[in-house]
Each structure stands twice: as structure tokens, then as C-alpha cells.
A = this chain, B = another copy of it.
């Protein structure tokens, strides 16, 4: 049994191969009756247009590549936030009739050449970029390529980024704690230049504090990456410092979950002794004990926006950077002072 081609369908339908091709692409040129007949026969024969041939001829692949950054080969835990993004991007792409190639890569590898120059994908979405300073250096060389990154949206930066309004996110998280009467609020997160997103959350935190007439204290900030272990260690460090705090804003849910464990180990109850707010609203946030109050990033909406923005880049249109609005999700990990 040989592969069915458009020529076979043409024979069965008694038309030319060109007409088959047109009918299957919903060309308005072809007679509606003929089109229906051809489509019926194609379905009966389980015929599908050969994508290699179609791609080669038409010079586009209707495929995007989604690269998830990983520091090392071995680290197989993907941040659940990225999993949500990945799912929502894949669905948004499918809705636009695009396929998605998935890959886990390190920054050092040359994905542009691999995916774009081989015509495997028309554009690339990057989830997680590792260190910002290294990444931006790489992006500068990309001029004209179709690469969109989930990350910080910074005035004048090269490349194309879409991300959450992190400053606003940090602001509403901290304001929530302030309104509950907390004054000594710790910040767990990396505020170095390598993490502009967390830095922005920190700036939002500071702004909320200032509005309440409070100055931020370096002793209340502890560096943490978005990982459970990292949040755990940061909270321990904070406890060791022996500085008073009745609340903590963690710049990731994963970090917040770790911090909660560390606080408990230190004999503190959450939210009894310390209120905790996270960031991301990963699934685990809602079924943790206590369920985590957090700042949700709308991944479903973000996926659509990213796919649309990438396809604009591909089409050569201008894309403006867009900020996703964060939303405070109140659960059980905070209590009035």
C-alpha cells in the first residue's frame, strides 16, 4: 500500500492535481461543489497534505519552536509556572493552526541557526533565559530574527520581550500585607541585575512601603531563586539574622513554599506568626497548607499574546512590548497583624 498523494485524490475526483490542492486549501477559486467533493474523498482516503512538500514549496512551516531554558541537562524540574505557559502557548498556536516544536536548551546552544535557518520553525519563543546580562548580550546579535522571550519588559532593551507587570505585582502583594497591618515585611528574591523581573517586584515592594511611610531595610531582604530549596534557605537565613518581621513577600510561589517550611521548622506558624505572599499562582499554591495568597500571572492570556506577537514578528510587522496585568489571589497564608 503506497502513500496517498494529491494525484491519487485528483484521479478519484476526476480533476487535476492543482484543483485538489486548491480545494484542500479552501481556495475561493474552486467551485464549491467540486471543493466539497474533493474534501470528502480526501477524508475518506485519510489523505493529508504532505507538510514537507507544502512547506518547501510555500516556504513557511506553520511551526513555532518553544525553547525552555535549562541551566543543566540534569535538572528536570521545570518551574510549574513555565509548564502553564507552555500549555497555553501550545494551545494558542494550535488555535492559529501552528504546530509547536518543544525543546529544552541551554543558553550556549545556537537555537537560532538550528530552528530558523533550517526552516523548521518560523519563530522562536523562549521561556526562561537564565541570567539576564548574558542573555541580553546574545539577543543583541539576533537583530531581525523572530525570537520572543518571556521576561522583563524594559525600556530600550534589544530584542522582543513580553512579561508580567512585575512592579505592579510587587506593589499589590505588599499593599495587601500593609493593609493587614504588617509593617516589617521581608522580601525574598534575587534583586541583582541578572534578575530584572524579581528586581521589579522588589521595586514594587519598595514603592508600597514608601507610600505607607516605611523605608525598606536591607536586613529584611534575602536572595532566593524561584525554587523551593532556595526559598527555604533564604527564610532560614532571615531567621538567623534575628530581625523582626511579621510578613514575607516571596517573589515566587516555589520559593514561598520553601520559605513556609523553613518558618515552620523555626517554630513559627504561617499565617499565625508570619503572613506569606507568593508570586505566580502555580497549581501547588492552591493546594499547599496553608493555601498560598499569591500574585497570579495570567498564563492563558499570556500564551495568546505571545503567539500573536511572535506571528507579527514573523510577518515583519512591528510588535510593541506588552505587559500582562498581575492579579492578587487571596487565600489562607495571610492574617491581620
Query: Which residues of A are in contact with B by a Cβ distance under 8 Å?
Result: 4, 46-53, 55-56, 61, 63, 66, 73, 76-78, 80, 83-84, 86-88, 90-91, 94, 99-104, 113-114, 117-120, 228, 257-258, 260-261, 264, 283-284, 286-289, 299-300
Contacts and interface: CB of A to CB of B under 8 A. Distances in A.
- The complex is assembled from copies of this chain, and their number is 2
Contacts of A80: 80, 83, 283
Q: Name, among A52, A53, A78, the residue most crowded by chain B CB atoms within 10 Å (CB to CB).
A: A52
Contacts of A113: 46, 48
A52 B49 contact: no
A80 B159 CA distance: 32
B87 A104 contact: yes
Chain A interface SS verdict (over half): helix
Given A102-B102, A228-B287, A84 B91 contact: no
Contacts of A260: 289
Nearest to A95: B73
Given A49-B118, A76-B91, 13 more contacts: A4-B117, A48-B113, A48-B114, A51-B52, A51-B119, A51-B120, A73-B91, A76-B84, A87-B104, A90-B104, A101-B101, A260-B289, A289-B289
A272 to B, nearest CB: 15
A264 B283 contact: no
B104 A102 contact: no
Of A90, A102, A260, chain B has the most CB atoms within 10 Å of the CB of A102
Contact of A120 (B90, B99, B286, B300): B99
Contact of A56 (B56, B84, B300): B56
A250 to B, nearest CB: 13
A288 B283 CA distance: 13
Residue among A80, A90, A94, A283 facing the most chain B CB atoms (10 A cut-off): A283
A264 B287 contact: no
Given A52-B55, A258-B287, A104 B118 contact: no
Nearest to A231: B287
B46 A56 contact: no
25 contacts: A4-B117, A46-B117, A48-B118, A50-B119, A52-B56, A76-B87, A76-B299, A77-B84, A78-B87, A80-B283, A90-B103, A91-B104, A94-B103, A94-B104, A100-B101, A100-B102, A101-B101, A101-B102, A102-B102, A228-B287, A257-B287, A258-B287, A261-B289, A284-B284, A289-B289
Contacts of A46: 113, 117
A44 to B, nearest CB: 11
